[in-house]
């Protein structure tokens, strides 16, 4: 393998191995920069998945290539997996160096092809046109961060369908909140959500199209309580052997037992979480609960914007969607986002929100309502929680007679 091909492998491997580099690569690199057709095809898939906010790693890219019947044409699963081998340690800061080489090799190939065309051409007018077209193409491809996309490229990059993690509720790659009053069953419901995502089983009647790698960061409750919830909810789902096996490979838990301290505004602790999520190829991170994960003033817009930038960094560095548990204000009115406690920056961060409240205190029936940017939110649902000591725990959807109507403002979704 020559130096040019090895350089291409390093760029591809960096995109698959260090998620912090893929955003830069997808902004400044085009598939035609790769001399090997197989490398160009692999990067095209990486770029398309990045535009859809899908996680980019060897497994997900192999799956996409297999789905498109292109895997064997690029060298097979072993070749794609091997791309991450040989990537220099700490590649992030050095990626530009390898991208610059990639562009230079591309320019050299293009100019060589132009020279061959000139030799074969018979008219000076044809030569002039070829030179002008080639130089314009090279100039266009040299822009590091194009401001605009051509109409056909922009339309082609837009997925025809929403890539749902939970159908109709949570879009893959989107960040949001699960909100309720204190002691409002947020942790119980999200523990159930974590198991459903990891096993690829429905959650309260909403389909989970495929298993998702989940990290549950439970910092508020005693680790033994988190363990009890997960164990009994798992028993209540009556999972088969395949689904049970997925819990070992798709669900990871962090409590005070694993790391005594974790704060979003502590850069070292956040970096450790990022590295762990990369290693496990996490696709969805649950943070329980927002108010104990930072030292900022929750009502100060500037301070909370800084905390949420840390969450955004976690999202960008791992490629995972983030689900944050949060509290309602004391006032019970308005849309879900308007009821979120604290500064307006919190509501502004949300791409989806799941709100929980008590619908029938006597019957212990709860209401779940939704706001989201990705589409029309589902109608509210009602559910009960059965969590008796010594028995499997279940969260079940129920019918509520004469349910209160959803307000017109709540139906509009997240702005």
For 77, the domain range is 3-157
The rounded distance, in Å, linking the Cα atoms of 324 and 171 is: 15
For residue 295, pLDDT beyond 50: yes
Give phi and psi for 321, each to the nearest 5: -75, 150
Lowest mean pLDDT among 47-56, 124-133, 262-271, 275-284: 124-133
Query: Which CB contacts under 8 angstroms, 24+ apart, belong to 139-144?
Result: 141/30, 141/32, 141/33, 141/103, 141/106, 142/103, 144/27, 144/28
Clarify whether residues 236 and 280 are in a common domain: yes
Query: What crossing angle do the helices spanning 301-318 and 19-28 adopt, rounded to 10°?
Result: 90
Both structure tokens of 128: 């002039």
For residue 237, pLDDT beyond 70: yes
Domain boundary among 139, 157, 175: 157
Span 298-306, average pLDDT: 95
Domain boundary among 104, 129, 157: 157
What is the CATH number for 326? Answer: 3.40.50.300
The per-residue pLDDT for range 73-93, each reduced to its tens digit, is 999 999 999 998 878 766 766
pLDDT: is 334 or 346 the higher one? Answer: 346
The per-residue pLDDT for range 153-174, each reduced to its tens digit, is 556 555 667 889 999 999 988 9
Span 372-387, average pLDDT: 92
Clarify whether residues 127 and 169 are in a common domain: no
Looking at the 3D structure of the chain, how many domains does it have? 2
Mean pLDDT of the chain, nearest integer? 86
Assessment of whether the complete model's pTM goes beyond 0.85 = no
């Amino acid at each position: 393998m020559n130096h040019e091909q090895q350089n291409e492998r390093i760029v591809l491997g960096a995109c698959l191995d260090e998620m912090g580099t893929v955003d830069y690569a997808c902004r400044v690199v085009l598939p035609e920069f790769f001399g090997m057709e197989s490398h160009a095809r692999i990067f095209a898939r990486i770029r398309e998945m990045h535009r859809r906010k899908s996680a980019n790693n060897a497994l997900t890219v192999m799956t996409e290539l297999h789905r498109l019947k292109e895997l064997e044409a690029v060298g097979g699963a072993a070749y794609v997996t091997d791309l991450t081998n040989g990537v220099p340690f700490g590649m992030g800061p050095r990626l530009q160096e390898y991208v610059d080489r990639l562009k230079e090799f591309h320019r050299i190939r293009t100019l060589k092809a132009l020279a061959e065309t000139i030799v074969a051409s018979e008219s000076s007018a044809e030569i002039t046109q070829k030179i002008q077209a080639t130089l314009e193409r090279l100039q266009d491809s040299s822009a590091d961060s194009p401001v605009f996309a051509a109409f056909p490229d922009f339309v082609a990059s837009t997925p025809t369908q929403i890539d749902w993690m939970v159908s109709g509720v949570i879009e893959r790659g989107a960040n949001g909140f699960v909100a309720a009053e204190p002691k409002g069953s947020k942790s119980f419901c999200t523990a159930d959500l974590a198991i459903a995502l990891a096993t690829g089983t429905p959650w309260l009647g909403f389909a989970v199209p495929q298993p998702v790698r989940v990290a549950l960061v439970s910092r508020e409750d005693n680790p033994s309580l988190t363990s009890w919830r997960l164990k009994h909810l798992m028993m209540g789902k009556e999972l088969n052997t395949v689904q049970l096996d997925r819990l070992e490979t798709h669900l990871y838990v962090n409590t005070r037992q694993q790391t005594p301290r974790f704060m979003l505004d502590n850069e070292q602790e956040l970096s450790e979480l990022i590295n762990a999520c990369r290693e496990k190829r996490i696709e969805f991170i649950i943070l329980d609960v927002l108010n104990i994960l930072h030292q900022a003033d929750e009502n100060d817009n500037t301070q909370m914007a800084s905390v949420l930038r840390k969450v955004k960094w976690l999202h960008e560095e791992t490629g995972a969607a983030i689900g944050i548990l949060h509290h309602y204000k004391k006032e019970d009115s308005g849309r879900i986002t308007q009821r979120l406690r604290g500064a307006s920056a919190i509501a502004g961060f949300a791409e989806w929100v799941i709100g929980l409240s008590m619908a029938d205190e006597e019957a212990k029936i709860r209401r779940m309502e939704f706001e989201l940017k990705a589409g029309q939110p589902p109608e509210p649902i009602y559910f009960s929680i059965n969590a008796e000591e010594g028995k499997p725990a279940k969260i079940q959807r129920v019918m509520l007679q004469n349910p209160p109507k959803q307000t017109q403002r709540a139906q509009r979704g997240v702005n």
